[in-house]
Amino acid sequence: MGTSRRRPFKIEHNTLCGSNRYHVSFALANRFFPLDQFQREVVIEVIYRGHGLYYDLDAVVVMPDHVHISIDELPSTSRSRVVGGIKRRSVSIISRLCERKSLHWQRGWHERRIDTMRQRRGVVDYIRCNPQKAGLGSWIYDGTLWIHPRFRAPHHAGAFDHIEKLNHTASAPEENE
């Protein structure tokens, strides 16, 4: 009689244990009236402001008619609260600043859970390449694409400094003279 050897259980090394990481996308209700450059910058600023408060952000791209985000929600928040907050805040600011009263997001959103580091990098690459695949060229320098520094290519190192500078100037305390 032969003895059988038990194979040890293999854990995938790239597994993101305990992660609540998702690729979320949502779109405008009326895609015939896309967002202009300034409106897209407002949406990305709203999303970036929630980074660290409500979620950890890997990447975001704001296309003329839809948005892609890779987030890891924090324990105190839910995706419905995060996406709803982004939609409400962006509509509020754009309506006030641009006098565009017809801006409405679709009611739902699409989400996909990210379980491994390989999937995570794939989603970030998808977000990075989405404007090029849509025939819109590279939006790296125009303020509507943000990639977390750990996923940036070395030749894009300074391309996102304007968002970090904007964030630091807004949160810096004013000095009284």
Q: What is the pTM of this model?
A: 0.73
pLDDT at 95 over 80: yes
In which band, very low, low, confident or very high, does the pLDDT at 24 lie, cut at 50, 70 and 90? very high
Query: Which helix (H) or strand (E) covers residue 69, if one does?
Result: strand 66-73
The per-residue pLDDT for 25 is 94
More reliable by pLDDT, 68 or 149: 68
Domain 21-153 of CATH type 3.30.70.1290: yes
Q: What is the pLDDT of residues 100-155, one digit of tens each?
A: 667 889 998 999 999 998 998 899 889 888 887 777 765 554 556 777 666 655 44
Measuring CA to CA, how many Å separate 152 from each of 100, 112, 157, 166? 34, 22, 7, 19
Cα–Cα dist 10/29, whole Å: 45
Cα–Cα dist 166/177, whole Å: 23
Query: Which helix (H) or strand (E) covers residue 25, if one does?
Result: strand 21-27
Query: Which helix (H) or strand (E) covers residue 62, if one does?
Result: strand 55-62
The per-residue pLDDT for 173 is 45
Domain boundaries, the chain: 21-153
